[in-house]
Amino acid sequence: MQRVSRSSAFRKTMRRAAWPALGLTLMAFFGVYAILGPNGMLAYGDYKRQLVRRERDYQALDRKREVLKNRVALLNPDHANPDMVDEMTRKELNVVHPDEVIVPLK
């Protein structure tokens, strides 16, 4: 009968356990990353909050774009709105009649 030393039995056990241990370690790593990582399940709430905030910003920009679109339409050279043209020229040239009162908006 062949005698097996303790160290060789230990090495044999460690070799047999190395691949399953490595597999379990990798599975644990990816499992934790799937939950706690930047794209994990816990980050989902933050994505929802960012989506709500960006949709609100988009709506504000959309309203501003509509106002600017309206002003551009009023300045169309084919049929310009006289009040809009008057407002723009007075603003750019800083021209005021003596009987006018200027009320600053900002």
pLDDT band at 106 (very low <50, low <70, confident <90, very high): low
Q: What would the pLDDT profile of 37-87 be if each residue is shown by its tens digit?
A: 888 888 888 889 999 999 999 999 999 999 999 888 888 888 888 887 887
Query: Is the pLDDT reported for residue 32 higher than 90?
Result: yes
The DSSP code sequence of 10-79 is HHHHHHHHHHHHHHHHHHHHHHHHHHHSTTSGGGHHHHHHHHHHHHHHHHHHHHHHHHHHHHHHHT-TTS
Q: Is 48 exposed, middle or buried (0-12, 13-18, 19+ CB in 10 A)?
A: exposed
Domain ranges of the chain: 6-79
Residues constituting the chain: 106
